[in-house]
Amino acid sequence: MIADQLLKYQVHHLGGNAPVYELPNQVKIEEVLVTICVFTYNHESHISRCLDSLLQQKTDFKFAIYIGEDQSPDATREICKKYAKENPEKIRLFLHDRRNNISINNKPSGRFNSIFAYHVINSRYLAICEGDDYWTDQRKLQKQIDFLRNNPDYGICYTHCLIRENGVTRKYDKTISGIFSFIDSVQEKHGATLTMVFDKSVFDAKLFAETTRKSTMGDWPIECLITMYRKGKVLEETTAVYQRLGSGITSTHLTNPLNYYHSRINFLEALLRSGRLEDKGQSGIVVAILRKCYFMRAWLYLAEGNVRFFSSDIVRYLKYCFSRQSLAEVRFIDRFRFSNMLKASIAQLVASKRS
């Protein structure tokens, strides 16, 4: 069972009090330079291929595989146990309890699983590969770690990958080549999660937990939190296959744009409130992205006929047309009264258009 201090951490910070069990293993944690995080749920048809591809990595350093198994109703847990028992010097298997699950937008999520992992893992570098994806280059880890160690001003790197969807494999065209900074990251994620490797020494796991509790996005916030302090880069290598099965977060965002904007807004609002942004430039770009997100979400609400939420988001959009500092200094504006008047005016306008 997990150590008492970890149970106290999860109770106080994550709200879950059901024990998380670590299967006995022989991993020498103090010697591990890189940990590959595998978060898995209902992946019985894919998890073996995923783990095989990770175990085949050839490196000149020690790495471990952390599996967070989220109490799948299928055979995923038993398969993970088999791999952990056969590879005790490589695999740390953590068996989660669904009673700890954090719901986002009234739906179960993998957030507890990932937050818990980032608190438990102590290696210098982290890589991520979801249980339904797999790596194709046996030197993927070596190449990315070499880059990060030789370029200390970089904190994160991706590679290119392929995507397999509906039985067809093609190049994943969402990867953005080149170097990127925080200003780039908050506008768009630069690579696929399964190709991500980052330096945990510049990653604030506590801030991640605070800012993603209400966001379905877990990979994009990592990129943003790393590039607050260091640059990122996409390496010109193709090293993995991303399997889009239709039930993942990306697929959900494609079919429901409202969820996409919900997640971006929740993360960016939490980041702004944290007070951790280093300069006005970082705060300014976050405010600009929030303004855009509220505006876009408002029109999505209007398309659904939800006038109340449309009005509310337009008010937030207008709020971000000014700096928070400026709004705080304008004492003569009764913002609450102004917001209500604006909502009523917009509602009347929409009603008149319909009639």
Return the H-helix or E-strand segment holding 157: strand 154-165
Query: Does one domain contain both 280 and 147?
Result: no
What's the rounded Cα separation, in Å, for the pair 349 and 355? 10
Contact 180, 231 (CB under 8 A): yes
Give alpha helix (H) positions in the chain: 4-9, 47-55, 76-86, 111-120, 140-150, 182-185, 205-212, 219-227, 249-255, 257-274, 280-303, 307-319, 324-329, 335-354
Within a domain: 8: yes
Residue 166 and residue 281 in one domain: no
d(CA 73, CA 58): 33
The answer to whether residues 113 and 204 belong to one domain is: yes
Domain boundary among 245, 266, 296: 245
**pLDDT tens digit at each of 355 positions of the chain:** 444 555 555 555 566 678 899 999 999 999 999 999 999 999 999 999 999 999 999 999 999 999 999 999 999 999 999 999 999 999 999 999 999 888 887 888 889 999 999 999 999 999 999 999 999 999 999 999 999 999 999 999 999 999 999 889 999 999 999 999 999 999 989 999 999 999 999 999 999 999 998 888 889 999 999 999 999 999 999 999 999 876 544 444 456 899 999 999 999 999 999 999 977 789 999 999 999 999 999 999 999 999 999 999 999 998 888 755 434 433 333 445 445 555 555 555 555 555 5
My answer on whether 215 and 329 are in the same domain is no
What is the 3-state composition of the chain as percent helix, strand, coil, each rounded to the nearest 5? 50, 20, 35
Could you tell me the CATH number of the domain that includes residue 112?
3.90.550.10
Q: Domain boundary at 245, 269, 303, which?
A: 245
Q: What is the DSSP letter of 101?
A: P
Quickly tell me which residue has 């917009």 as its tokens. Answer: 346
Same domain, residue pair 279 and 240: no
Q: What φ, ψ does residue 191 adopt, rounded to 5°?
A: -155, 170
Neighbouring residues of 136: CB distance < 8 A, sequence distance ≥ 6: 53, 162, 238, 239, 240, 241
pTM, to two decimals = 0.86
Based on the fold, state whether residues 186 and 237 are members of the same structural domain: yes
User: What one-letter code names the amino acid at 269?
Assistant: E
User: Which of 208, 192, 196, 335 is closest to 274 using CA atoms?
Assistant: 208
Token pair for 275: 């007070």
Q: Decide which of 245, 272, 294 is a domain's last residue.
A: 245
Q: Which of 105, 92, 107 lies closest to 62, judged by CA?
A: 92
Residues 332 and 221 in one domain: no
Residues 57 and 197 in one domain: yes
In a domain, 324, yes or no: yes
pLDDT at 330: 36
Domain assignment of residue 270, yes or no: yes
Write the burial class of residue 166 (CB in 10 Å: 0-12 exposed, 13-18 middle, 19+ buried).
exposed
Same domain, 218 and 140: yes
Whether the Cβ atoms of residue 132 and residue 210 lie closer than 8 Å to each other: no
* Same structural domain, 224 and 99: yes
With H, G, I as helix, E, B as strand and everything else as coil, classify residue 93: strand
3-class DSSP state for residue 240?
A: strand
Domains of the chain: total: 2
Can you give the pLDDT at residue 201?
95
Distance CA 348, CA 342 (A): 10
Residue 250 within any structural domain of the chain: no
Distance from C-alpha of 149 to C-alpha of 135, rounded to nearest angstrom: 21
Nearest in space to 289 (alpha carbons), one of 207, 224, 219, 203: 224
59 and 194 both lie in a single domain: yes
Name the residue among 113, 140, 114, 169 with its Cα closest to residue 53: 140
Q: Encoding tokens for residue 172?
A: 């994943």
The verdict on residue 61 lying in a domain is yes
Whether 234 and 106 map to the same domain: the answer is: yes
- Amino acid making up residue 233: K
Determine the structural domain holding residue 233 and report its residue range.
4-245
Name the 3-class secondary structure at 154. Answer: strand
Number of H helices, E strands in the chain: 14, 13
Q: Is residue 24 part of a domain?
A: yes
Q: What pLDDT does residue 12 have?
A: 54
**For the chain, what is the mean pLDDT?**
87
Closest CA to 16 of 31, 6, 26: 6
